[in-house]
Structure 1
Amino acid sequence: MADQQHKMNLAGRLAQSFYQSKITVLIMIAIALFGLLAVTVTPRLYNPEIVVPAAEIFVMRPGSNSEEIHNLVIRPLEALMASLPGVHHTFGYSVNDMGIVTVEFQVGANEEKSLLEVYNQLSRNMDKMPPGTEQPLVKSIGINDVPIMTVTLSTSQLTPVALRQVGTRLMDQLQNVPDVANATLIGGGRQAVNVWLNPAKLASAGLSLKNIQQSLQGNNVILPGGHLVNDNHEIPLRINGALGSAQDVGNVIIGSHDGQPIFLKNVARIEEGAAEGHTAISNTAGLANRMQLPAGTNMPAVTITLAKRPGTNAVTVADAIKAKLGRLEQEALPEGVHVTITRDYGARADDAVSTLFEHLSIAVGVVAIILMIFLGWREAGIVILTVPLTLGAVLGIGWLLGQTINRITLFALILSLGLLVDGGIVVIENIHRHLHGCAKGGFANCVIHATNEIGNPTNIATLAVILAFVPMAFVTGMMGPFMLPIPIFVPIAMIASVLLAYTVVPWGAYRFLRKKAAKAADTHSHAGHETEHEDGTQAPPDALQSGYLRVVTPLLESSGRRNIFFLIVVVLLLLAMLMPLWQFVRPQGMNGPLSALGVNLKMLPEGNVSDFMIQVDTPAGTALDATGQVAQAVGDVLSHNHYIENFQTYLGRSAPVDFAGLVRGDMMREGSNYAQIQINLVPRDERPMSHTVAVEVYKALQSVRSRYPQAVIKIFEVPPGPPCVPRWWQRFMARITKNCGNWRGR
């Protein structure tokens, strides 16, 4: 024993320092409080936040058609942006009078630095822009542009203008909720003065559209008019010539004839109302709607989108929005306006995290039961004590490193749960092995010696596990930052677990196994060694040991049996390795039904979320009403599905963007031949997997595809992982978007 004390390794030294130290209890309390604090304050999200810096550059050149914009503005601008370091991809898009270039940087690039490089590149090359080009507008795009909540207001009792005004007032109130970054309003009618010109009267007056445009611009002005000084007081003057009503617009003088003024109202019909729109939004009740409306009830709608500030907790922000929305719904909204929360990433994140916490607790409980069966309740209790302490330390360190609590974080903890109890089990087993050989006064030395004995092998095993996960930190693309919590949390969990195994387990063993050791020592001194009878023969093994011996002994005694056993293991290993390959060559095809005993090969399991999307693309030049007919036919199918609560149709534009849509470029998509339908399902405990519902809807839409063969109807599910867009998909999107103008991708 003295020789061993001089050869103490890390495990032995830690055990010797902490097994009876009072500071051990303080450390345990501190770690527990640290973990509770981390669970409370760490932001909860559904997925890890992936930084993909991007920017949209809007360039106006009035009077140019889409081909001119494409060749004179977009192509040179794309080349300038593509020359920037760190640019992953550029997309060019042009219509009459305007073009857009989207610049996408590498995943994980510094967002502020990337935007600064875009601004600098534009400033240095403004002199190369063709004459007539206006100052470009740069708008950043990032993960925080994705709204965490959308609220849809729908009614059949208000005009589109009145509904938009209600939505604007509600949006202004919700935007004041703490940690809400920005809010936008989609849909409804904008208040406007519509001028319907009479071509015959305009021609008889000898006037042109340009005359009317110049007259309106000259009369609709607000200018500073200098100032007056009176009695040592300066009074500022302003010229207020703004046109505020249809009467003001009608009284604008646009010319003269025979010495008489010609008013705009003399050549046009002027009305106040909604501005002419090229989009339409509606909310439709499904069979499972909670508003007690008949299925298929369709109402005009507006949608409020709300995004959170970077680094804030999606759960708390969403809860605060819902609390204020509940008060405003009772106090400020007109009767007959239906309020529907059509996206709630806070609830989704909280549900996913709570479910994984529940599974983590179940896993801890299962481990505890197994340890109690095979080690005894005292030994099991000591090992289980290290589990919450390890989890608390890991979550606390993750909080300090800027990580969030999301489903990948908790997956890493569940993955490492079976590994992080290994150190404690090895230490407590070795202490238990030395238990019966310790003298009554030497139990402390036995604890230290037992811990020291397994220190180096345990350290090597822990290092091997850590090295197996570290390479995941170097994965590139979107999958890298998406899976980054695993190579962060698993090594931290392993290191924390082995340190606690060397400190807390010896401390617990010394406190709770001393009586057991003393009893074993007394028994040993009176009856001899416990594994031998008085006649020197060995005591019979227990049931577990007997079963193990019956399996292993024949293999040790016979080389033939050993070879057969190894052959069976190799064959089973090869069959297991062939299972993924069979998915690619099976007669049913990769996406066909599974073969007998088949297993799907996927990077990640299908998510079970509460929504998915349908996109409708009709041929170029299709009128908005014709596209609306296809969307209506799709809606008729959706309204008969028992799992759909409601759905929103965005005709002529995209639905509120999610992260997958952000990567697809949905924010840029609009046109009379385009529509998206956002579908919301009942809670997941009331339906099958969302993928199953989506497949059911896809099959039901076959009749719509037959009626409208020229329309392309696609279903977009929420991807279980990051939305990685392959190049073939980018080329496909480029082809189907040509109807809105010219589209290029670099």
Structure 2
Amino acid sequence: MAFVGLLAGLIVVIITPKEEEPQIDVTMADVIVAFPGASAQQVESLIAIPGERILDEIEGIEHIYSMSAHGRAVITVQFEVGIPRQEALVRLYNQVFSHSDWFPDDLGAHQPVVRPLGIDDVPILSLTLFDPSGRQSGEDLTRLARALEVELKRVPGTRDVFTIGAVPDRVDILFDPALLAGFGLSVTDLAAAIQASNAAGAEVRITRDGVSIPIEPGQPLTEVDALPGLVVGLRDGAAVYLSDVAEIRRGETVPDAMVQLGFGPGAADHHGELFTAVTLAIAKKPGENAVVIARDLQARVDMLRGRVIPDDIGVQITRDYGKTAGEKSRKLITDLVMATFSVVLLVLAAMGWRQALIVGLSVIVTLLLTLVFSWAWGFTLNRVSLFALIFSIGILVDDAIVIVENISRRLRSSDRGLREIIPAAVDEVGTPTIMATLTVTAALLPMAFVTGLMGPYMSPIPINASAGMVISQIVAFVLAPWLAVRLLRHDKSMGQASDGGGGASAARGVNKHVQRFFRRLFEPFLGAQVWRRRGLAAGVIFLTLVAASLPVFTAVILKMLPFDDKSEVQVVIDMPEHTPVEQTLRVLTEMGRYLETVPEVSDWQAYAGTASPINFNGLVRQYYLRAEPWQGDLQINLIDDRRRQSHDIAQDLRDPLTEIGKRFGAAVKIVEVPPGPPVLSPVVAEVYGPDHETRAALA
């Protein structure tokens, strides 16, 4: 059984998907309704408010938010945590399309579009493309990114592959009004001719000589060179070409969004340089191993170097959650091994190497079997599930230690054989250890029923720890006695009979220095002097009151989770409305120039008029909707080898970046990746008022 448990546990460690965050069923969806030409107030009254009422009828809805802008409404529906994604989306689709008449058909609004979102929409890898020489334009980088999208989508396990900061191609057609009039054409005729030529008709078949020949009329325009020969009219029986009445040239696109890449002091190359860039973001399918997929994607990029990716194009990995998940897993597994080793050393010092070997093997089997249970339950290997094992190792070893210690004690005080001693020794402490296991399990399990995001996020701790307690109990009753028969029977010194009282028997085998220390510590309180015991009780009460008063006087700050040391920090800025995207990029660039003086910064990306690749925090806060020209993100990556934690770096960045933002009228927010499940904001308030101006002023 032990061998099977060891083998199964090792296999599970290899095959279980490794991720940084736990998998949570938190289903969100955006219902988007386009309403061309309508003001924000009209969109709110005609689309958003009626839509909220209809969607609020769905069972299992936790929150509904709506955003009304010029020509568009976005209604966000967040389901209760734990509702299966498929079931939630079916309810939403049924409600939306069975009540799609919530606005009149002749209103001019388009049909609703439902865009579901979940934790697997968060990209695990982002690649930023740039040209160190500066010869390639944003359009060139966009064409390369589109080609890479096709190649990277072929990697098994990938889900969404998309480009951020893409610059579309543009062709300028400059017509001469005099020439148009001379040929009897108008601008409308040109537009109609180009539109008609940029379409393909349905396939038809012509049968000739017993052969069916497929014919597809028309062909979409794919090259700029095809435009000059486009027929736009007839004059005197001769064709009039587009080149006869207009000048055609490739134009410079004014993008709606801009991306730049800069490098800090921690970068190996290009420190202080700034490049135009585009970013490829790749998300994975549910249940896939982030470590393996990220590694395969990078291998595919290396393979495409020189074939699809020119040698002079730089590819900077600006996010790698596979790497961070692997590092977290390795670190936590190392901590788990060190904790187990510490327990074994303690037992070795207290009872001997044979007992330490029994306890060590019992703990290893318990941990591996707990990992098997965790995998069967559906958990992945992430920082929360591994922390649950480290957290519980102190209580997992109790059962084995108690059983082994009682067997050893009976061996020291009896001449009987092991097969007679072990059943009695296990039976003697069996009931207390079972009660201890049930008590600890009863204390842990209520944590699994916490509601909201925190419950499922932290559920590996109570579930894995409780399962580990039960497994450790079974291992202590089955494996530990079996190992004692195999190992302790060879210890001749343990078979000698005791000579003396029970106290001497209990103390036999204990280190003399340890005995002396505890006697000096406890004997003063065990004598006839009652005042000493009363003084001890008063001291304990006083220290308890002091400890309880620390949070009251804010000497100790109470919080849900400690700060985590992350590899990234995000800066979100909001410029005054109607600020052009070029000005937003200028502010981000100024902030980036300051980052080039921070020694822990490896690289940074400025996203103006678009959102950076979202993380779990950005998913909940809906940063993916930030697409206005006056909105921008600054994504900061930190070097791995640093002394300061990311929280300390973020605190030091707050004042300088806020000061830069004030010079341009920008509102600046430093956003850290939270150590636990994200929230919309630490404080969320609803503001009510008679009109938008009053509400905005109060907010």
- Provide TM-score, normalisation by structure 2: 0.90
Give runs of aligned pairs for residues 584-733 of structure 1, distance below 5 A.
598-683=555-640, 685-708=641-664, 710-726=665-681, 728-729=683-684
- Of residues 441, 444, 451, the one that matches 1:466 is 441
Does 1:288 pair with 2:258? Answer: no
Percent of paired sites with the same residue: 33
What corresponds to 1:366 in structure 2?
342
Does 1:141 pair with 2:117? Answer: yes
Does 1:426 pair with 2:381? Answer: no
Q: Alpha-carbon deviation of 1:603? A: 1.8
Q: SS of 1:240's equivalent?
A: coil
Q: SS of 1:300's equivalent?
A: strand
Note if contact 2:43-2:73 (Cα within 8 Å) is conserved in structure 1.
yes
Note if contact 2:164-2:610 (Cα within 8 Å) is conserved in structure 1.
no
- Of residues 508, 515, 521, the one that matches 1:551 is 521
Q: Alpha-carbon deviation of 1:278? A: 0.8
Q: Distance in 1 between matches of 2:509 and 2:218?
A: 107
Note if contact 1:615-1:715 (Cα within 8 Å) is conserved in structure 2.
yes
Q: Alpha-carbon deviation of 1:397? A: 1.1
Q: Distance in 1 between matches of 2:213 and 2:346?
A: 86
How many residues are treated as equivalent by the alignment?
Answer: 685
Q: Distance in 2 between matches of 1:615 and 1:121?
A: 35
What corresponds to 2:90 in structure 1?
116
For 1:704, the aligned partner's letter is I
For 1:85, the aligned partner's letter is E
Q: Alpha-carbon deviation of 1:97? A: 3.3
Summarize the Cα distance change of 1:206–1:729 in structure 2 as closer, same or farther, 3 Å threshold: farther
Q: Alpha-carbon deviation of 1:529? A: 4.6
Does 1:320 pair with 2:296? Answer: yes
What corresponds to 1:560 in structure 2?
531
Q: Alpha-carbon deviation of 1:624? A: 1.6
Q: Alpha-carbon deviation of 1:59? A: 2.0
For 1:174, the aligned partner's letter is L
Q: Distance in 1 between matches of 2:177 and 2:389?
A: 73
Q: SS of 2:67's equivalent?
A: strand
For 1:234, the aligned partner's letter is S
Q: Distance in 1 between matches of 2:503 and 2:185?
A: 119
Q: Distance in 1 between matches of 2:472 and 2:397?
A: 7
Summarize the Cα distance change of 1:522–1:676 in structure 2 as closer, same or farther, 3 Å threshold: closer
Summarize the Cα distance change of 1:539–1:332 in structure 2 as closer, same or farther, 3 Å threshold: closer
Summarize the Cα distance change of 1:540–1:111 in structure 2 as closer, same or farther, 3 Å threshold: closer
For 1:387, the aligned partner's letter is V
- Of residues 286, 293, 317, the one that matches 1:310 is 286
- 1:511-567 CA distances to partner (integer Å, 9 max, x unpaired)? 222243x5444565xxx558799xxxx999944334433433332323222221111
Summarize the Cα distance change of 1:205–1:492 in structure 2 as closer, same or farther, 3 Å threshold: same
Q: SS of 2:628's equivalent?
A: strand
Q: Alpha-carbon deviation of 1:279? A: 0.7
Q: Distance in 2 between matches of 1:540 and 1:116?
A: 66
- Of residues 499, 506, 509, the one that matches 2:474 is 499
User: Which has the higher mean CA deviation after the structures are superposed, 488-497 or 223-232?
Assistant: 223-232
Does 1:581 pair with 2:560? Answer: no
- Of residues 478, 493, 512, the one that matches 2:453 is 478
For 2:127, the aligned partner's letter is V
Q: Alpha-carbon deviation of 1:254? A: 7.7
Q: SS of 1:222's equivalent?
A: coil
What corresponds to 1:512 in structure 2?
487
- 1:439-495 CA distances to partner (integer Å, 9 max, x unpaired)? 24x332111101100111111111100111000010011111110001111011111
Note if contact 1:186-1:302 (Cα within 8 Å) is conserved in structure 2.
yes
Q: SS of 1:296's equivalent?
A: coil
Give runs of aligned pairs for residues 238-387 of structure 1, distance below 5 A.
238-240=216-218, 242-246=220-224, 270-273=248-251, 275-290=253-268, 292-293=269-270, 295-387=271-363
Note if contact 2:413-2:496 (Cα within 8 Å) is conserved in structure 1.
no
Note if contact 1:193-1:245 (Cα within 8 Å) is conserved in structure 2.
no
What is the root-mean-square deviation in Å for CA atoms of aligned residues? 3.2
Q: SS of 1:615's equivalent?
A: strand
Q: Distance in 2 between matches of 1:540 and 1:213?
A: 96
Summarize the Cα distance change of 1:233–1:715 in structure 2 as closer, same or farther, 3 Å threshold: same
User: Which has the higher mean CA deviation after the structures are superposed, 188-197 or 274-283?
Assistant: 188-197
Q: Alpha-carbon deviation of 1:154? A: 0.6
Does 1:570 pair with 2:525? Answer: no
Summarize the Cα distance change of 1:328–1:247 in structure 2 as closer, same or farther, 3 Å threshold: closer
Q: Distance in 1 between matches of 2:562 and 2:400?
A: 32
Note if contact 1:329-1:339 (Cα within 8 Å) is conserved in structure 2.
no
Q: SS of 2:201's equivalent?
A: strand
Summarize the Cα distance change of 1:541–1:407 in structure 2 as closer, same or farther, 3 Å threshold: closer
Q: Distance in 1 between matches of 2:503 and 2:217?
A: 110
User: Which has the higher mean CA deviation after the structures are superposed, 637-646 or 208-217?
Assistant: 208-217
Summarize the Cα distance change of 1:112–1:681 in structure 2 as closer, same or farther, 3 Å threshold: same
Q: SS of 2:202's equivalent?
A: strand
Q: Distance in 1 between matches of 2:73 and 2:242?
A: 34
Q: Alpha-carbon deviation of 1:636? A: 1.2
What corresponds to 2:364 in structure 1?
388
Q: Distance in 2 between matches of 1:322 and 1:455?
A: 54
Q: Distance in 2 between matches of 1:727 and 1:122?
A: 32
Q: Alpha-carbon deviation of 1:396? A: 0.7
Q: Alpha-carbon deviation of 1:416? A: 0.8
Summarize the Cα distance change of 1:234–1:379 in structure 2 as closer, same or farther, 3 Å threshold: same
Q: Distance in 1 between matches of 2:351 and 2:510?
A: 19
Note if contact 2:621-2:679 (Cα within 8 Å) is conserved in structure 1.
no
Give runs of aligned pairs for residues 426-445 of structure 1, distance below 5 A.
426-440=402-416, 442-445=417-420
Summarize the Cα distance change of 1:573–1:235 in structure 2 as closer, same or farther, 3 Å threshold: same
Q: Distance in 1 between matches of 2:412 and 2:298?
A: 62
- 1:558-597 CA distances to partner (integer Å, 9 max, x unpaired)? 32222211111111112212222222xxxxxxxxxxxxxx
Note if contact 1:148-1:307 (Cα within 8 Å) is conserved in structure 2.
yes
Q: Alpha-carbon deviation of 1:85? A: 0.9
Note if contact 1:189-1:274 (Cα within 8 Å) is conserved in structure 2.
no
- Provide TM-score, normalisation by structure 1: 0.85
Q: Alpha-carbon deviation of 1:297? A: 0.8
- Of residues 74, 78, 94, the one that matches 2:68 is 94
Q: SS of 1:224's equivalent?
A: coil
Note if contact 1:532-1:539 (Cα within 8 Å) is conserved in structure 2.
no
Note if contact 2:100-2:112 (Cα within 8 Å) is conserved in structure 1.
no
Structure 2 unmatched ranges of 5 or more: none
- 1:93-128 CA distances to partner (integer Å, 9 max, x unpaired)? 333433322211111211111111111112211233
What corresponds to 1:450 in structure 2?
425
Summarize the Cα distance change of 1:728–1:554 in structure 2 as closer, same or farther, 3 Å threshold: closer
Q: Alpha-carbon deviation of 1:252? A: 6.8
Note if contact 1:664-1:725 (Cα within 8 Å) is conserved in structure 2.
yes
Summarize the Cα distance change of 1:228–1:255 in structure 2 as closer, same or farther, 3 Å threshold: closer
For 1:626, the aligned partner's letter is Q
Q: Alpha-carbon deviation of 1:220? A: 3.2
For 1:166, the aligned partner's letter is L
Structure 1 unmatched ranges of 5 or more: 1-26, 584-597
Q: Alpha-carbon deviation of 1:659? A: 0.8
Summarize the Cα distance change of 1:438–1:336 in structure 2 as closer, same or farther, 3 Å threshold: same
For 1:163, the aligned partner's letter is L
Q: SS of 1:283's equivalent?
A: strand
What corresponds to 2:163 in structure 1?
185
Q: Distance in 2 between matches of 1:613 and 1:200?
A: 55
Note if contact 1:245-1:272 (Cα within 8 Å) is conserved in structure 2.
no
